[in-house]
Chains A and B, each alone.
Chain A
Amino acid sequence: MKPSDPGITWLEEKPLGLAERLYLPLFIQGLTTTARHMVSPKVTVSFPEQRPQVGNPLIYRGVHRLNRDPEGRVKCVACFLCATACPAHCIDIVASNSPWPDREKYPESFQIDELRCIFCGMCEEACPVDAIELTSLLDLTGKSREEMIFDKEKLLSVYDMTKDAEPMKSATLGGTL
C-alpha cells in the first residue's frame, strides 16, 4: 500500500500549544493527578483479615460442592456427565446401585482433584440434576497433595458450610430440580 493510498486515513498529532510548550500547566496537571491518587480510597484488600468482595457468588467459580436433596441425601445420580465434560480429567466417580427407590445409581465414591481442576465450571453446566456446583470460596489451601483431593464427604461438607450463604443455584436460577 502506497502512502498516497486513499484507503489510508492519516492522523496528525496536534502541534503543541503555548501552554504545553511552557510545561508548567502540564506539570501541575500531572502533580494534581498524582496527589489525588495519593489520598483516594485504596483498592487493596488486606486479605486474611478482610475478605475480598466476590462480585456475584452465583457466577463465581470457586471450590466445588456436592448438593444435598431436601432429605439430606447426595443429589448426584452418578451419570458421569461431569466427569466426561471435565477437560482436566479431575473428577473420579465410582457408581453403585442406589439404596433409594427414586433413582437407579448413586456415587459410592466421588473425588475431585482440586489441584488438577482448572475451575472452568463445565461440570456444573453438564450436571443434569444440579448436584455439583462451584461456590464462591476462593482460598483453597492444603498442606499435601492428598489433602487436596476432595472426596464425597468433604464435598458434601462444603455444601453444609456454604448452603446458608449461597442457596442452591438451581432454585435461584429456576433450575431443573
Chain B
Amino acid sequence: MNSLSTLLPSPTTLAALAKIGLLIGGLMTAAAYLVLLERWIAAWVQDRRGPNRVGIPLTKIRLFGLGQPLADGLKIILKEDFTPKHVDKVLYNAAPLVILAASLAIFAAIPFGSVLPPLNIPGLPDPVPFLVAPGLDVGVLWVFALSSIAVYGVLLGGWASNNKYGFLGGLRSSAQLVAYEIPLGLGLLGVVLAAGSLKLDTIMNAQAETGIWYAFAQPLGFLVFLVASFAEAARLPFDLPEAEQELVGGYHTEYSGIKLLLFLVAEFLHMITAAFLIVIMFLGGWHLWGVTGSGNEVSWAGAFLRFGVLSAKILAVIVFFMLVRWSWPRFRFDQLMNLAWKVMLPLGLANLVTVAAVEEFRPQLVAALGAGPASWLAIAIPWAVFFVGWIAAGVFTPSGTDNRPIRARGPLDIEHDLLEHELAGSR
C-alpha cells in the first residue's frame, strides 16, 4: 500500500494536471471561437452578416454558424503542409513550436478565477486557486519572460523562411515588440508597486479588498499598458509585423497547413493573454462591486460567479480589441516608434513616479488627513497627472504626420530653389 501511494502522483500534481488540461482545452476552444467572433464582428461592422451557415455536420441545423470553427480547423489541418526548398529546415519547423509553447506556458502564472471552496482532500492544501502554478512568486516576471520568448518564434519564423516578406515581418516585429515592452513594463510596474507583489492573484485580491481597480487609481498606467498591449499582441492599429497589404503575411508568409495554424492560434493566444493581463491588473480581475465580495471565503456558487465575472470582463476587452481593429488605420512605422519612445515611455515614467510618490507618502497622508480624504487624494493626484500628461503629450510631441505645406519640402522644390539661386548668381 505504501509503495503504491509513492508511485501515484501526489494530489497537488493531479490538481495541477487537471488545471492544465482544463486550461489548454478551454484556451484552444476559446481561440477557435474567437476566430468566429472576429469574423462576425468584422462582418457586422462592414454591414454584412458573417459566417452563419455551418452548424452540426451532416444535418441541416445551422446554429448561427457555431460549427464554423470546426470546419475551419479541419480545413487548415488537412491542407498540404508545404515546406519551401529555400528555408532553413530546423528553424522553420521550430518557430511555430516555440511561439505556441511560449504562448501556452504563459498561462501557468495567470489566474483564471479566484479560489474553490475547501475540498478537504488530504495532501491538497485548501483553498485550491484557479491557477496552474500557485505560489509562483515571480508571476508577472514569468508572464513577461515568456511573452518575450514568444517573440523569438516570430523572429525565427521570419528569418528561417528566407523570404523578404517574412524577413521584413520578423524585423518589424522585433523592433516593435522591443519598443513596446518598455511602456508595457512601466505600466505594469505601477501596479506591482501599488499591490506590493508580483503575484497576479495577490494583485487581484488587493483590488478586491479596496474596491478600487487600478484603472481608476492609475489611469495613466492603464492607458499606457492598454496601448502597449495592443502593440504586443500585434493587433491593428499596430499590426505592422504582418501587414497584409505590404508584407503579404509577414513572418508567416512561407507557412502553410498546420504550422500556419499554430502561428495563428498563438496570435489569438497573445490577444487572450493581453486581455487577461488588462483585466487582472487594471480592471479588478474577478471583482465586481456588491456581487462577488472579496477575500478567500467563497461558496461553490461564489467561486463560479467570480470565474464568470472574470470571463465576462475578458470577453469585453477582447470585443474592444476587435472593434478597434475596424476603427483605426494602421500606423506608419515611424509613427509607431514615435509613439513608443516619445509618448508612451515618458507617460509611463510619469505614472511610475506618481504611483511611487503616492505609495511612499500614503502613511503620512493618512496621518495628516485621516483615511478617507487621504485615499481620495491618492486617486486625485494620479488623475491630475493623467490629464496634464495627456495634454502635454498632445501639445508637445512631434506630430507623426508632416503637416508642412507640400511646397516647403520635397526634392522638386529643392531643385527649384537651386535653380533660382544659380539664376540669381548669373545675374
Chain A residues within CB distance 8 Å of chain B:
2-4, 10-16, 18, 21-24, 27, 30-31, 33-35, 37-44, 46
Contacts and interface: CB of A to CB of B under 8 A. Distances in A.
B10 interface: no
Nearest to B327: A30
Contacts of A13: 401, 403, 405-406
Contacts of A24: 390
A35 B324 CA distance: 10
Nearest to B402: A13
Contacts of B406: 10-13
21 contacts: A3-B412, A3-B416, A4-B416, A10-B406, A12-B405, A13-B406, A16-B401, A16-B403, A22-B394, A24-B390, A30-B327, A31-B323, A33-B327, A34-B45, A37-B46, A39-B44, A42-B48, A43-B47, A44-B47, A46-B49, A46-B52
A34 B323 contact: yes
B45 A37 contact: yes
Interface in B289-331: 323-324, 326-328
B405 A10 contact: yes
A43 B48 contact: yes
B399 A37 contact: no
Contacts of A41: 47
Contacts of B328: 27, 30
B327 A31 contact: yes
Contacts of B413: 3
A45 B364 CA distance: 67
A163 to B, nearest CB: 34
B391 interface: yes
Given A37-B46, A38-B41, A43-B47, A18 B395 contact: yes
B326 A34 contact: yes
Contact of B44 (A11, A22, A27, A38): A38
Interface residues of B, number: 27
Nearest to A37: B45
Given A10-B405, A41-B47, 17 more contacts: A2-B416, A3-B413, A10-B407, A13-B403, A15-B403, A16-B403, A21-B394, A21-B395, A22-B390, A24-B390, A31-B324, A34-B45, A37-B46, A39-B44, A42-B44, A42-B47, A44-B48
Given A4-B416, A16-B403, A23-B394, A34 B49 contact: no
Contact of A18 (B47, B394, B403): B394
B48 A38 contact: no
Contacts of B391: 22
A16 B45 CA distance: 28
Contacts of A22: 390-391, 394
Nearest to B405: A12
Contacts of A4: 416
A33 to B, nearest CB: 7
A12 B405 CA distance: 5
A24 B407 CA distance: 31
B311 to A, nearest CB: 22
Nearest to A14: B403
A28 B175 CA distance: 29
B347 to A, nearest CB: 12
Contacts of B44: 37-39, 42
Interface string B389-415: 011001100010101011100001100
B414 to A, nearest CB: 10
Interface string B32-64: 000000000101111111001000000000000
Contacts of A35: 323
**5 closest A-B pairs by CB:** A30-B327, A21-B394, A22-B394, A34-B327, A44-B49
B49 A40 contact: no
Contacts of A33: 327
B45 A38 contact: yes
Nearest to B408: A12
Contacts of B390: 22, 24
A14 B405 CA distance: 9
A1 B375 CA distance: 68
Contacts of B46: 37
Nearest to A12: B405
A4 B412 CA distance: 11
B169 to A, nearest CB: 26
Nearest to B412: A3
A58 B53 CA distance: 33
Contacts of A11: 406
A50 to B, nearest CB: 11
A24 B52 CA distance: 35
